[in-house]
Structure 1
Amino acid sequence: MTQRAQLLGSASQAALTVGLALAIASTAKAQTPAAPAPEAPTVRLPQLEIEGQEPPNTLRRSTGVSRLPGTVQDTPQTMNVVPRELLEQQNVVTLDQALRNVPGITATIGEGGGGVNGDQFRIRGFTSQNDVYTDGLRDFGTYTRDAFNYENVTVLKGPSATSFGQNTIGGAINIATRTPQLGSFYAGSLSIGQNSLYRGTIDVNQQINETTAIRLNAMAHYNRLQDRSDVDSGRWGIAPSIAFGLGTNTTFTVEYMHFQDNRTPDYGVPVVTPPGGTIGKPVTEFGVPRQSWYGWNLDRDDVSVDRVTARFRHVANDWLTVYNDTRIGFATREFAATPASCPATSPTFCLPTLFGPNPSSAVASRGGPGPFRQETWGAQNVTTAVARFTTGPFRHEATLGLDAWFQNDERTSFSYSPSARPTPNLFNPSHSSAGYTILPGTGANVREINQRHLGFFLTDRLWLTPQLSVIGGVRVSNFDIDQKLYGNANPTTKLSSNSTFADPRASLVWEPTPSQTYYFSYATSTSPPGSFVNTLQNTFSATTPLEPERNTSYEIGAKIGLFQNRLGLYGALYRIEKGNAFLTDPNTGDLLQTGDEQRNQGVEIGLTGLITPDWAINANYTYMDSETTRSATAANVGKRVQYVPRHAAAFWSTYEFFRDTPYQFTFGGGITWRSQAYLNAGNTAEVPSNFTLDALISHNFGDRRQWRVALNAYNLTDELNYDNLFGNRVNPSAGRTFIASLAVVY
């Protein structure tokens, strides 16, 4: 039996198990007398959600992070919320898909050698490699995340060091997970789509007594990517949780998640520059089929993640609330990938054959890093106190706390035998790895990294008048990193770095009415040497101490509630400056303390909520003017920052027809669009613009309309789009795809 057949069988069996569990839960609910409890919340479709939990205008929702008290509207910073309603309507299954609703985010492929291929995003043009959080805590390990346990996804734009710590150059991504709540409900869904897509989920919440509830979310999934040959994923996950003290001043929640994914990594298609041309483009722009995948049968990305989170909240009195959040996470990853390239200097590969009389004979070069196994474990504790008090005539809201985390990564490298990989034909690549094996690496093939962070943060919001307030804050951090390189009886090489730095923030906020917020904000973040050690282990050494990168943001914006706060309108002008960037001298290889300086400035506007009780909208647009303002490579000065388009937009809207009648149905759709982007600092390679048109039609039925049947269509115009960018290759996106689903909540 082939690996893909095994994946399909395992995922299908797991999907049947999910469905059986849902049926058992239904029977148990019908046959077992329920303990006295408040009546379960009513359900309002088309989205399968618990009514009354969250306002449709996402500006009125909580930030979801204890270090940022208040609502999105209260926070003087651009925050894009992708709510659960939208996730369900679009049938979102990964974090990457959720973030397509947020303009200004670019997905990149990442390299494999450092173990960072997976969810790699750039926010407003700058890497967020370490900036994906779950419930305000670090999500240890790098992998492709599934959305089965998501309540919503929030993107905080701009440096956010006082809340999250180091890096956060373009911002941070925070995922809110589903946790127990009072009342009982049972939900599940089954989906089937083109190219062998099968997915099943369950979401069961059971109230045990007046203040205690348990919840279980589970998922099984298998699919092959539409119009990408031999790229597939078989995965499953389970997330049980229990909460005590619900509805009281003291709550304690414990969550566990296990996630397992066996997928084929997709490293895309090469970028080539035609003879006589000056700008490189993907080979699929020159007639190569977008289905072409250049990996081989030894490629794999097998991930296992275990995560335990405990969250404590205590309202001590009417002015003090204390939070304590703890996480321990473990992740293992077996990874092997085969990127293809078209070296311009070799006449035996793509160039100039692709542009010659017989292009179908063109072949690519297979290369990239060798296979590896990476084991990651980490622990974090964040203690936060939020105090509301007055001093004389002034009202305060002070947030202070301590953030401590530790992470250990151990990567063992392997090699191929024979070492040279076969060259695939550009138009009809072979994936056979016959005659090849994976062997333990030679030399010092084990790299172990220990990272430790300790940070103290303090922010105070002072109301000068009931409408005008100022915010001042600072985070002082100490970051320590040790790296060891050893293996095969070789001497151990050690490197270390220790940095202490402070990141301030300041804001002026004017709220003339409860539905209007106008603000100016200033914030910084710091990227110390070694903080991106998995990809840039040369950013520190034993002999060359480097100063940290410094990142600064300025933003002026407004957030306004319309139609009795049913609809939210927001906009901002921003500028981010990145200075003192690390750089390796191209001539000597020496590490320089100061390298490229970059700037990105622009405007962002958006709408979120309900235009009418039946008409929902989520729309965002951003314009980004990026530039390299200083560089050791003079030709790069004045060029746009790589991976940053000038324009990006996301629009999604639905309308519910014939509500409260047997003929009810919902129709919706939207687009995602970004303009052309460059793939390198010299602006000599580019990826064309993306345009995707998606649509939804769904119908609710049953005595309480607890059932929903839906059909989602993606990329209706079958555009050749590109996601997951890298310097010399890009991933073609899926072509036209249809997915049908059946869901229930009761």
Structure 2
Amino acid sequence: MAASRKALTYAPALLALLGAPAALARTPSAAPAQEVSQIEEVVVTAQRRSESLQDVPVTVTAFGSDQVQQARIRQIDDVAGLTPGLQFDAFPASQPRISIRGIGSSDRGAAGDPSSAVFLDEIYLGRPAAVAFDAFDVERIEVLKGPQGTLYGRNVVGGAINIVSHKPELGGFDAAAEATAGNYSRLEGAGVINAPFADGKAALRASAAWRTHDGYVKNTFTGDDVEDQDTRSGRLSLRFEPQENLRLLATIDGTRDRATGPAQHVLDLDASDPRSALWTVNRDRKHTAGSDDGYQNRDTWGVRFQADWDLSFATLTYLGSYRDLDYHVAYDFDGGNPTFNRAGISGANDEASDFSSHELRLSSLPGEGVQWVAGLYTFNSDTDRKDTLGINLGRPGTEIYTQSAKLKSYAAFGDVTVPLSDRLSLIGGLRYSKDDKDYRVDNLAGNTLFRADERFDVAVSDSYKAWTWRAGVNFKPVEHHLLYAMASRGFKSGGFQDTPGSAADARDGFEPEFATQYEVGQKSTFLGGALVWNNTIYVMKYTDLQTRRTLPNLSVVTDNAGEATIKGYETYLAWRPFSGARLVASYGYTDAKFDVFSPEPGVDYAGNRISRTPKHKLVLSPSYDLALAGGGDVRFAVDYHYESLIFDDNSNDGPERRPATNFYDGRIVYTTPGDHWSVSLWGKNLSNEVTRTFQAVFLGANFGAYNPPRTFGVTLNWKH
């Protein structure tokens, strides 16, 4: 740890040589190492058109298909580990909480929205539990940082993660397969087939994956393993181009998850609370003692249809979708049993959601001088959710909240880039958003804990409107160098309480939150394309933050906290110093503090750091490709990521903090001549780092969960 702190002391000097995000897309591993001398171009669609990453005036971290495959990026937590400015926190892992540049949300209630969102092929995944996908057969993953909305259908205030899957290819037949075996009885299989037909005017692409492993944690009370995995996913896409100016694409995908856990522990005792005597500390990551194993069951599927019609002056696009979610989770919150703890806490969430969207947009044709897009968007969701909390402090009690929420969202947006010369362009965008929410919450089914004297059934509704925008300038002083300045404003609508303590609390919703970001950036390519170095400095003004807190009667409410300022610096470097060698490095500094925040009378959090936001995050990914005399090559690669201390509570007090972490992943990949076969020996968390992924103080103790242990295995890949 001292070495890590020393490295960070010299970070400004080091990062003048080594910059940031892990993003080398579509690396052709079959090419002989001596032929590789340039950094491969990364093409992204962050501005709703295909552009080189080096030409986009937005901070984007991108992962190409080869990196996703070889680094075993499978879910959102894998993306977060390799992306400065992106944090992943979950309890349980099947309901991820995503934070970008300090902006995230802990609200999972039926009437809440994420502050930082995930899009699957441009489709907004509107519920935390709906963020379920398999990264096999994806073209790339993009992380956009800062407010989005003048280009994307659904407005987000913090940032967006875009998963872009491979589309069917009309050019010819293709196929690939993957098989994995590893520790904890890991078995995985995946495959894809691409088949064109109709004389090359249509193609069908089908992909599927199955992933299983035994539990990482032993439950000493039940004798079972928990935190296992049994995930099955599939996607079927049909592409049809009946004529040159018309393109049609239809996709259906689905994911089925079955798992036990999560494995909870009593991490610390709160000596100021006499109820701390009820609990027994257990910091053994390998073992839990819960009275039951819990379960995490999720089924989600969706359909998507897109039509693009090239007119004489623009492309007209229709994009429609429908998604369905059926989610059930139950857990032993304290991780103990009657022989281990003198009390018990349990919980459960059950949710059924469906949501649909429609988007109609016009965009300029490729190659036009002025690039623009204008669109209309609507998003509808219907969510029924039940939250159950059980507490036994000598006598058992249960509280059950049932929630029903309907959302109708409408938006109109436009964005334009106008070149003033060959080197200078102006950028402007505007969006109008309106969200209508109808909500009902009751606790009539159960209320035998601390508020038995008040039962209620409350129905409320509200409407939230906002204008958001972006404005900036692009300047290319010389070829291969870009300077840009951008200001953007984002909005997240208000909502209602999911587990209120009274009818008055249930009627008292929270207001929208806003973020305005000012960003200056530089993107440069040196040494004939062998070195890419990008830098970004930003300041974000965050107002009316939606934060959650626990009241003395144990109900949890969401309030608007006040104001915060988030300042940061991010740098990215990709370098090929000599034949076969490559270094990708990224670093992010985030200073996220409250300016105004008084959660209750007499309590002032001004100056405190926003929870779950490390000041420093460093990612280093060196690799070396060794060309073999008989053909083929061997790649040696390592991913290292460091995060400084974070607070899991906005109070910045007590045990809810996570010390700095150091993670090491590695792989050795042999690719045969012809690039048809490869075999990878891989390991994740090679140093077996132990850290807390969730923690919360409640009833005299700090309860939480740990990260997965060291995992390793071998993966065999074949492609046509």
Deviates further, 222-231 or 268-277: 268-277
2:307 counterpart of 1:329: no
- Taking only the aligned residue pairs, the percentage that are identical comes to 18
User: How far off is 1:659 after superposition?
Assistant: 5.1
Which of the residues 140, 153, 160 maps onto 2:141? Answer: 153
Which of the residues 367, 377, 380 maps onto 2:357? Answer: 380
CA distance 1:397–1:376, shift in 2 (3 Å): same
User: How far off is 1:414 after superposition?
Assistant: 5.9
Which of the residues 231, 245, 259 maps onto 2:227? Answer: 231
Q: Is the 8 A contact 2:609 2:650 kept in 1?
A: yes
Q: Residues 317-368 of structure 1: CA distance to partner in whole angstroms, max 9, x if unpaired?
A: 3x412222111101101221222289xxxxx99xxxxxxxxxxx97485425
2:689 counterpart of 1:723: no
Give 1:217's aligned amino acid.
S
2:602 counterpart of 1:640: no
Give 1:260's aligned amino acid.
R
CA distance 1:729–1:560, shift in 2 (3 Å): farther
2:98 counterpart of 1:121: yes
SS in 2 for 1:735: coil
Corresponding residue for 2:85?
Answer: 104
Corresponding residue for 1:290?
Answer: 285
CA distance 1:414–1:378, shift in 2 (3 Å): same
Corresponding residue for 2:662?
Answer: 691
Q: Is the 8 A contact 1:388 1:395 kept in 2?
A: no
Q: Is the 8 A contact 2:345 2:389 kept in 1?
A: no
2:253 counterpart of 1:257: yes
Which of the residues 604, 609, 621 maps onto 1:652? Answer: 621
Paired residues, what number?
648
CA distance 1:723–1:650, shift in 2 (3 Å): farther
Q: Is the 8 A contact 1:341 1:364 kept in 2?
A: no
Corresponding residue for 1:623?
Answer: 589
Corresponding residue for 1:734?
Answer: 708
Pairing 1:22-421 to 2, within 5 Å after superposition: 44-45=28-29, 57=40, 60-63=42-45, 66=48, 70-110=51-91, 118-127=95-104, 129=114, 131-143=117-129, 144-164=132-152, 168-181=156-169, 182-208=171-197, 209-226=199-216, 229-245=225-241, 248-266=244-262, 268-272=264-268, 288-297=283-292, 299-317=294-312, 319-340=313-334, 363=341, 366-369=344-347, 371-387=348-364, 395-412=369-386, 420=392
Q: Residues 263-322 of structure 1: CA distance to partner in whole angstroms, max 9, x if unpaired?
A: 124254344267699xx9xx99x98321133544351111111110112222323x4122
SS in 2 for 1:340: coil
User: How far off is 1:69 after superposition?
Assistant: 5.9
Corresponding residue for 1:556?
Answer: 520
User: How far off is 1:494 after superposition?
Assistant: 1.1
2:622 counterpart of 1:661: no
User: How far off is 1:681 after superposition?
Assistant: 1.2
In 2: Cα distance, 1:539 partner to 1:616 partner: 60
In 1: Cα distance, 2:563 partner to 2:431 partner: 24
Q: Is the 8 A contact 1:244 1:252 kept in 2?
A: yes
In 2: Cα distance, 1:677 partner to 1:322 partner: 46
Give 2:123's aligned amino acid.
L
User: How far off is 1:654 after superposition?
Assistant: 2.1
In 1: Cα distance, 2:167 partner to 2:154 partner: 28
User: How far off is 1:644 after superposition?
Assistant: 0.9
SS in 2 for 1:87: helix
CA distance 1:704–1:406, shift in 2 (3 Å): same
In 2: Cα distance, 1:56 partner to 1:250 partner: 34
In 1: Cα distance, 2:62 partner to 2:27 partner: 22
**Normalized per residue, which structure has more strand?**
2
CA distance 1:624–1:518, shift in 2 (3 Å): same
Q: Is the 8 A contact 2:149 2:431 kept in 1?
A: yes
CA distance 1:608–1:646, shift in 2 (3 Å): same
In 1: Cα distance, 2:165 partner to 2:502 partner: 36
For normalisation by structure 2, the TM-score amounts to 0.81
Q: Is the 8 A contact 1:539 1:546 kept in 2?
A: no
Give 2:201's aligned amino acid.
T
Deviates further, 659-668 or 331-340: 659-668
CA distance 1:506–1:270, shift in 2 (3 Å): farther
Q: Is the 8 A contact 1:619 1:650 kept in 2?
A: yes
SS in 1 for 2:473: strand
In 2: Cα distance, 1:415 partner to 1:542 partner: 17
Which of the residues 485, 493, 503 maps onto 1:520? Answer: 485
In 1: Cα distance, 2:438 partner to 2:469 partner: 27
Corresponding residue for 1:357?
Answer: none
Corresponding residue for 1:23?
Answer: none
User: How far off is 1:224 after superposition?
Assistant: 2.8
2:535 counterpart of 1:571: yes
Corresponding residue for 1:427?
Answer: none
CA distance 1:491–1:598, shift in 2 (3 Å): closer
Q: Is the 8 A contact 1:219 1:237 kept in 2?
A: yes
Give 2:202's aligned amino acid.
T
Which of the residues 677, 682, 685 maps onto 2:651? Answer: 682
CA distance 1:558–1:482, shift in 2 (3 Å): same
SS in 1 for 2:44: coil
Q: Is the 8 A contact 2:658 2:691 kept in 1?
A: no
Which of the residues 422, 427, 437 maps onto 1:481? Answer: 437
Q: Is the 8 A contact 1:108 1:723 kept in 2?
A: yes
SS in 1 for 2:54: coil
Gaps of 5+ in 2: 1-25, 106-113, 219-224, 446-454
CA distance 1:607–1:366, shift in 2 (3 Å): farther
